[in-house]
Each structure stands twice: as C-alpha cells, then as structure tokens.
Structure 1
Amino acid sequence: MTEAAERDAEAEADEQDDHLEATISQRGVLFSARDRILIVRRSTDGGWELPGGRLGPYEDAPVGVHREIVEETGLDVHVGRPVHTASWRNDVDRGRFAVYYRCIVPAALDVASSDPVSLSDEHMDHTWLPPEAAADRLSNVQSEAVAAALEVHDG
C-alpha cells in the first residue's frame, strides 16, 4: 500500500470513528385530559422513566412507540409528533439515541372510574403527575423531553 493510500485509509477510519453508534429508543410523554403526565418505575432498579422502548426490525417509528406504550402500560394512546431527541453515552460508555413523542391519552380512558394503566413486568409502579413534578423524578434527558412536550402542548 502506498503512503498516500495509507493516509486515506487512516483518514477514513478516523471519520468513521466520529459517527455515533447507538441503541435507539423511543418514548412517549403521555398527557392525560387533566394535563398530568404518566411516569413508570422500572422493576430492575426502581428508577422512574417515560414509557417506551426500542424499535423492532424495520418497524415504522410511530408504530413502534405506540406498540411499546401499549405493551408497557396497556394504554392505546394517540402518538403525536416527535418533540425532542437526545444522544448520550450511558454509564458503561455505550451510545444511546432517543426520540420523544407527545402522546395524548383518550379522554374516555382518562375519566374512567379506575386507573386504566396495566403495567408489564418491566415496571413495578406508575403515577400521573403534573409536568414539573414528573420532570423532577426523571433523568435530565427525559426532563428535557417533558419540557419540550409541554411547550408543544401549551403552544
């Protein structure tokens, strides 16, 4: 290999290293008719999060987030437009990329006499909170998503 070809190969390798390699997740900021937000508590570590998860292979993004929300909460929500994205490295230095959607819980579910949420085994608890209180229990990234969804909701 010539010296020029080696430099080109090294430059290409460096350029490839600069691209994000990440697990992609999608989550919903679920608004009730009373402007409360649903957060769920993970069974694994007790942390609070917005409902959602990973896309299936070749799955359409809004379909995937809807599926995940139904699986985790039992709620058939209206998935709105994306309101926030974030990328970061987790505690074991793996890349993460998340898309957050503004979602609306149908009023018919929201006014039921009993709580319509039916949790999967992934979560051990849930609560409906005002946006600011929900954001206080979430990670910084998810708190930013709540703020972004609230701007769209109020706007």
Structure 2
Amino acid sequence: MTDEPLRATISLRGVVFRPDERVLILKRTTDGGWELPGGRIDEGESVEVGVCREITEETSLDVTVDEPVYSLTWRNDDGHGRFAVYYRCEATEYDVSVSPEHDEFAWARLPAARSRLSDPQGTAVDRAWDGHEP
C-alpha cells in the first residue's frame, strides 16, 4: 500500500463499434495522434450521460453505451494523476462530424485501429471486441 493515494482527473472514453466490425478513431489536432472519443465527466453527471455527451460533442453521433471494458490510472508528463474508464458503445448512425479538437476520423478495422492507438486504448478496443455478441 502506498502512503499517498492517487488524486486523479477522471475521463470516460467510448469504444464505438459499427456492425461491420469497425471502430471509430479520431485524430487530434494538437499532435496528430489518434484516440478514442471521450473526455472528462462533469460534476453530478451520470457515467452513461457523460460518455454519450462527450462522444456527441466530438463526433455528432448518438451512441448506446454498454458496459465498462477497461480502466487504468497513470501520471501524465506534468505528474498529474489520471484515471480513465473505457466503455463499449454501439453507433446507431455512421455520419461523423468532428469537433475542432480533431481534424480527421476513421471507421477502422480492428488491426488498423490498434496500430494507430496507444497501447492502453488498443487494449480497450481488444477487450470491448472480446466481449461483443455477434
């Protein structure tokens, strides 16, 4: 046990699937890296509402939020604590309009999505896919 607990900002991300086994990834405008849609939860906001709100803000999509599939903690480059929870989501539409935070999107097949994402986000994609029901 550590002497000091991690104080962390909480973020929620969606692993958004289409029925054709493609997952939504977004390219950040800040550094050109790829990520899953999501962001920080607001105070007093339910998890499902927060995940849906963040995905809608970043993509204009309405999604169905399923169960959490992965979570992790870390410290960023500035030493600030972070806690992320990834949820499996299903898209009900596929026409994406990205927010100014992103300049590109892709409905990628699983291997291509994994290769563009960070290791933790790739793990979230794998776990979300492993838990799906065809």
Q: Bin the TM-score by the shorter chain.
A: over 0.9
Which residue does 2:64 correspond to in 1?
78
| Structure with more strand by fraction | 2
Which residue does 2:104 correspond to in 1?
125
Q: Which runs of 5+ in 2 are unaligned?
A: none
TM-score scaled to structure 1, two decimals? Answer: 0.82
Q: 1:20 deviation in Å?
A: 1.1
Distance 1:124 1:46 in 2: 9
Q: For the pair shown, which has the larger CA radius of gyration, 1 or 2?
A: 1
RMSD (Å), alpha carbons: 1.3
Distance 2:110 2:12 in 1: 19
Q: Which runs of 5+ in 1 are unaligned?
A: 1-13, 111-115
Percent of residue pairs identical: 52
User: How many residues get paired?
Assistant: 133
Distance 2:110 2:48 in 1: 23
CA deviation profile, 1:116-146 (whole Å, cap 9, x unmatched): 1011111110001111210111111111101
Q: 1:35 deviation in Å?
A: 0.9
| Structure with more helix by fraction | 1
| 1:39 aligned onto 2:18 | no
* Secondary structure of residue in 1 paired with 2:103: strand
Q: Which of 49, 52, 58 lines up with 2:38 in the alignment? A: 52
Q: 1:154 deviation in Å?
A: 5.0
| 1:148 aligned onto 2:127 | yes
